Amino acid sequence: MKIGICDDMSEVREMIADLVRRRCPAEDICLYDAGNSLLAEESLPDILFMDIQMPGINGMETAKMLRERKRQICIIFVTVMSDMVFEAFDVGAFHYLVKPFSQEKFYEVLANAVKWSIEQQKLMERYHNCPVNDVDRAGHWVQAEEKRQRCIVVKQGGMSTRVFLRDIIYAEVFNRKVLLHTITGDTEYYGKLTALEKQAGEAFFRVHRAYLVNMAYVVRYNAHAVTLERGQAMIAKQKYGEFVKAYLRFCKQEGRKECTAGIKCMNWQC
């Protein structure tokens, strides 16, 4: 695992690096004095501690550009600016540490970040190792990599954000907003779940009028709910039988033999 520290003040970089070394002595620690030097890296960190106020490109702008290159990067802002926490959410920050902070708090955030990064890596490895169909719903030939890269663009407050379909664990609708639960965090926008359902394809199933799930992330299910690798979705009674058939068909297509054996189903009557 690669842990990066980006701050224009050398004493802050060394202080954070020393704290990281005490708990993660085996990890690769990289120091950057500006957003430009970080962005110039060919191999980006898995976890990044970054200041907001820096010469040149500030931390927020750097984070936006990093997200375009590596969606699973765990960004932790370390700053004296306590009033920019909402902007941090907009770029999917994992945490927001306000200086000065205690060692206990830092180690708590570090431990959670390491755990999160490991979980994301496992999710991505599992997903990308799954075979995919070579023909789309319309019967057109689709290269495997092209299919994995399919995405939607959602608009939030004047900003357009690209979300890969492969990254969506499930989606739900509430108060005219669609909330996407992805492997990198949550994104919401004004829209209709029906429109997303049409775009999503056969890997997704509408288990309830308020929930659309990605079957690649199903952990278990019964007649009342579908448990996913992060979160849970209610299942409508009239949808249960159709969902079971669709899920088993999906498992067979994806080569997941354990699904067809019934291991993932917690309702022994299915």
Question: With pLDDT > 90 as the criterion, what percentage of the chain qualifies?
Answer: 44
pLDDT in tens, 87-110: 887 777 888 999 889 999 999 999
pLDDT attached to residue 135: 37
Task: Examine residue 100 and say whether the peptide bond preceding it is cis (omega within 30 degrees of 0).
Answer: yes
Do the domains spanning 2-127 and 144-260 agree at the CATH topology level?
no
pLDDT digits over 58-90, tens only? 999 999 888 777 767 899 999 998 888 778 877
Angle between helices 103-128 and 10-23 (to 10 degrees): 70
pLDDT of residue 252: 75
Q: Comparing 15-19, 127-131, 146-150, 262-266, which segment has the lowest mean pLDDT?
A: 262-266
Which single residue is written with the structure tokens 């309830």?
A: 208
- Length of the chain, please? 270
- Token pair recorded at residue 96: 């927001």
Indicate whether 213 pLDDT > 80. Answer: yes
Q: In this predicted structure, which of 53-67, 105-119, 203-217, 253-267 has the lowest mean pLDDT?
A: 253-267
pLDDT for res 254: 64
Domains in the chain: boundaries: 2-127, 144-260
What is the pLDDT, as a whole number, of residue 180? 93
For residue 229, the model assigns a pLDDT of 84
Pick the range with the lowest mean pLDDT from 117-131, 184-198, 221-235, 241-255. 117-131
CATH 2.40.50.1020 fits 144-260, yes or no: yes
Q: Which CATH number fits domain 2-127: 3.30.9.90, 3.40.50.2300, 3.30.420.40, 3.40.47.10?
A: 3.40.50.2300
Number of H helices, E strands in the chain: 9, 15
Q: Is pLDDT above 70 for 270?
A: no
Q: 230, 216 in Cβ contact below 8 A?
A: no
User: Chain-wide mean pLDDT for the chain?
Assistant: 82
45-62 tens-digit pLDDT? 999 999 999 988 999 999
The predicted pLDDT at position 202 comes to 87
Q: Which of 188, 191, 183, 178 is nearest to 165 (CA)?
A: 183
